[in-house]
Amino acid sequence: MENSYRKGEIIELTVIDPAEKDQCFGRTETGMGVMVKGMLAPGDRVSARIFKVRQRYLEATALEVIEPSLDRVEPICSVFGTCGGCKWMHVSYDAQLRYKKKKVEDSLVHIGGFENPDVLPVLAAPEQFHYRNKVEFSCSNMRYLLQNEMGSEELLKPKHFALGFHAPGNFEKVLDLDTCYLAKPCMNQVLNLVRDFALSRGLVPYAAKAHDGYLRNLMLRYSERHDQLMVNMVTSWYDRALMDALKEHLESAMPSQKMTILNNVTTRNNTVATGEQEYVVSGEGFVTERLGSLDFRISANSFFQTNTRQAETLYDQILAVAGLGQDDTVYDLYCGTGTITLYLAQHYRQALGIEVVESSIRDAEMNAARNGLSNAVFFHADLKDFHSMRDALSPYDAPRVIVTDPPRAGMHPKALETMLKLEPERIVYVSCNPANLARDGKEICAKGYRLTSVQPVDMFPQTNHIETVACFERG
């Protein structure tokens, strides 16, 4: 098809599929494909201005929704479209589940080369809002101004202080928030209390470009089953008197809330919410969460699934497809604080967990002892160097099943290669990125495995993210 479109031209198109970030894919009446920017929904009929003409498709920015999709709903958040978190809050939940299933199918077909993969319907989350048990807020000396504030001489909030989320694509500016509709209500209460405390004390927010300022991040964790709240302040230096004052401020405002307060201190030139040193201001310095019949200790910087209720659903799916017998051994790669490892250890003779983050391994070992599971063994190792662990693993039986739950980037090629050399009968691949599941799945199947089941689990309502449990069997 000859591309006769021109940059700057205004076109009309129908949105077909959601894409990454704030983009969707659509087609014009002539059939030309268009990647269009904007908070759109499949089924929307829109006008858009072309900003790039490629040989086979166009890139455009949406101007107006001419005819809204039947899947559209009214977002409940006043900063939807500005905050980059809830990209699908304008889409009905039933439609979100349909699109997420299609996203997994399309990745397996177009990236992995799988023909007609049997992807099961997405397991819906019981809570569509306020489901996150961990939220990280950032502090900045540059508040992101909303559209209605541009040019205004009187601002409702200070211009040089913000506590909330980074504006999309901007590491300096932060969108000041009063409420996040994914966070637990008690988290939003702490967010506003910390902001009030910081402003009343004149605390200097961190300036990313200049690399100065005191207050960097507010990281919150919540244990749903034990009603415990962790407040972790990330600052550039330690001030015990100030932290004690913050403790009094929070505890007086939330007297019935079980709470532990920490102060992570870092001098690094970045905006990451972790510290080089950690001080416990009050409480135990960790929270304990329950999954099934197990309790897990979670430190400030340890990984834990951010949706507690759906984590149980996810782990039950892993258990169901693992298909192990009571005398079998299972390996859990990227085990974090050992949640999957211990979930499996209840049912099998031995479970081995491997993880690169040392604090997570300490938590995993304490979690095993806490739950009386002596058949769970943990190794601190970088999975890129997994092959160097052969001697350490030699006393244990070879795994019949390997469960791998890698980060969003997928498995490192060397880790994938070594896992395949272990030749388990079954590989259960847990993925938060369908594209990398498809990429790694293609490599797994090239080594004599076949894809036998794919079960998406919606851990992240209102977003375009989807967790998937895929099973590969040898031969």
Residue type, 451: L
Check: CB of residue 215 under 8 Å from CB of residue 231.
Answer: no
**What residues have CB less than 8 Å from 77, skipping those under 6 apart?**
83, 86, 89, 179, 181
Report the SS3 class of residue 251.
helix
Check: CB of residue 198 under 8 Å from CB of residue 121.
Answer: no
**What residues have CB less than 8 Å from 403, skipping those under 6 apart?**
318, 322, 330, 331, 332, 333, 340, 344, 427, 428, 430
d(CA 416, CA 14): 40
**What residues have CB less than 8 Å from 294, skipping those under 6 apart?**
339, 342, 343, 346, 367, 371
24 is catalytic: no
Closest among 251, 272, 276, 274 to 261, alpha carbons compared? 251
d(CA 379, CA 358): 9
Say if residue 150 is exposed, middle or buried (CB neighbours under 10 Å; 0-12, 13-18, 19+): exposed
d(CA 106, CA 103): 5
Query: In the block, which residue shows the tokens 């969460």?
Result: 289
CA 430 from centre of chain: 13
d(CA 181, CA 37): 24
Catalytic residue among 139, 335, 432, 445: 432
Question: What Cα–Cα distance (Å) separates residue 88 from each residue in 9, 73, 93, 164, 314?
Answer: 28, 10, 9, 19, 22
Alpha-helical (H) ranges within 254-346 are: 308-322, 339-345
Residue type, 470: A
- What residues are labeled active site? 432
